[in-house]
Structure 1
């Protein structure tokens, strides 16, 4: 069986937990969805440090020829879909620590299976580390669910921030992987794909801060125009300095419209889901 089919099965498992959680949630559905979005956004931050910067492990999905893109694709299936889906299930069904241990054991078992099948490879990472961080993630998800009920302004800010991060990083990866739209060249790593992923992820983590304030407090047509102009100027400087290379069919103006699109979609998600938490 091709490697990528195993990862698609993993995605189906994640979707199952999402649907099951929504149907059986003991908390408002908007809060359950919010927990998934937040944990997925957190997963991107975790993977940036552990996976991209520190080279902890790699996935062998067999979908892309480029190993870093292929490995990142596998990371999205695992860390940005399945783990947040189980976090959502634990928090929304208010499951106790025994369930948390059981789910951690399940995912550790899947990790060992993927290692044996050659779908996944450890560098310095070890499976017990996975169990430890899973228990931490499950605990954060349960704590986040409690914080949502208090309706604090800071928790609303982070709900939106992690959601914007999730959208930014997902869109950026799929544009690069499937459309070869752009590449960043900061010169941090010898591998050009890793180099691009490392800088772009950091860029979107920082960029998401002002966009969060914009969406939450100053969402006007002129604010979006200011965002467009500011991004256009930054991307122009990056292109002229050689840090950004836009591929055929792309230009600075088109590329600068992407953050505006993310801001618009984040505003809708915030209005429809996050504000109801």
Structure 2
């Protein structure tokens, strides 16, 4: 599944840098539960952005050359960007309440990294520009600060949005792993292309996460049962209509169970433990 390439090392270096930022933040800050929800919410937001810009509009292409399959490789690069590099940085900035001078330094940092990756042919742009990245991050970093503030205040809309985004991001991550290991494919017709798969799968993840959070948010035990059963029914309908292929039905059964468990955990964590943490401090 893997191949030798020097392309992967810059991605690994960035992974180490941003992981260090996140670990330092969690070590120094007291509101670790709130920061964890902030992080997972950012991952979900990042996936929505990447699905629109990368999957649908073909703005750019990542070239880590870790997987032989170009689409898996490209999406893996997107996951590193939207689930690690940018969210870890945003949590660091918001956790330490850094002001605009620090934000400008990070904006310059990402601008330099993106241009360097283009020069080293680790990242290829089509109609996208590094200046667009700077513009979006200039909006995202203050949004992160406000999201963190409202989480601490227990804002109902932000709590609900965080619950959905945490669940949706987890759903998309699990489905990506299932695709890597050959247990999950989506598309049309007899032959499913990877392009089709990565167009359909995010929409599938959005819907499954909506079903799961909707029923679990409304009711505990009955909601878990409803979310599990309806999720399986959706899989069965997609399979019968020819939009879904699975090698092992039991694995999909287990995936739905894991997602119901994770959503239940998110529900307790976000609506109870986050409130308790912010009441203490």
Scaled by the length of structure 1, the TM-score of the pair is: 0.91
The aligned residue for residue 279 of structure 2 is none
Q: CA deviation at 1:269?
A: 3.8
> What do residues 34-63 of structure 1 show as CA deviations (whole Å, max 9, x unaligned)?
211111110000001001000010011111
Structure 2 counterpart SS, 1:162: helix
Q: Is the alpha carbon distance of 1:191 and 1:58 closer, same or farther for their aligned partners in structure 2, counting shifts above 3 Å? A: farther
Q: Which moved more, 1:13-22 or 1:128-137?
A: 13-22
Q: Tell me how far 1:184 sits from its aligned partner.
A: 0.7
How far, CA to CA, are the matches of 1:227 and 1:172 in structure 2?
A: 17
Higher mean C-alpha displacement, 1-10 vs 120-129: 1-10
Aligned to 2:262: 265
Contact 2:217 2:223 in 1 (8 A): no
**Aligned equivalents of 1:77, 1:274: Cα separation in 2:** 28
* Maintained 8 Å contact 2:216/2:227: no
In the TM superposition, what is the alpha-carbon distance from 1:120 to its structure 2 partner?
Answer: 0.5
45, 56, 71: which one pairs with 1:68? 71
CA distance in 2, matches of 1:215, 1:68: 34
Shift of 1:7: 1.4
1:256 to 253, 256, 261: 253
2:178 corresponds to: 175
Query: In structure 2, how many angstroms separate the alpha carbons of the residues matched to 1:228 and 1:191?
Result: 26
Could you say which residue in structure 2 is the equivalent of 1:219? 220
Worse-superposed segment, 159-168 or 147-156: 147-156
For 2:277, the equivalent position in structure 1 comes to none
Is 1:199 paired with 2:200? yes
Describe the superposition over 1:3-25 as per-residue Cα deviations: whole angstroms up to 9, x where unpaired: 12221222112211111111233
Which residue does 1:229 correspond to in 2?
229
| More moved, 140-149 vs 207-216 | 207-216
Structure 1 gaps of 5+ residues are: none
**What does 1:118-157 align with in structure 2 at a 5 Å threshold?**
118-157=121-160
| Structure 2 residue aligned with 1:19 | 23
For residues 232 and 153 of structure 2, the distance between their equivalents in structure 1, rounded to whole angstroms, comes to 39
Q: Aligned-pair RMSD on alpha carbons?
A: 1.9
- 1:121 aligns to what SS in structure 2? strand
Q: 1:272: Cα distance to partner?
A: 4.0
| Equivalent pairs, count | 269
Quickly say closer, same or farther: Cα 1:191–1:114, change in 2 above 3 A.
farther
Conservation of the 8 A alpha-carbon contact between 1:231 and 1:256: no
Which stretch of structure 1 is more off in the superposition, 6-15 or 50-59? 6-15
Question: In structure 2, what is the equivalent of residue 94 of structure 1?
Answer: 97
- Provide the C-alpha distance between the structure 2 equivalents of 1:236 and 1:145, rounded to a whole number of angstroms: 39
Distance 1:117 1:186 in 2: 36
Q: Given that residues 167 and 266 in structure 2 are in contact (C-alpha distance below 8 angstroms), is that contact kept between their aligned partners in structure 1?
A: no
What stretches of structure 2 of length at least 5 have no aligned partner?
A: 275-281
* Contact persistence 1:227–1:260 (CA under 8 A): no
Q: Distance in 2 between matches of 1:191 and 1:128?
A: 35
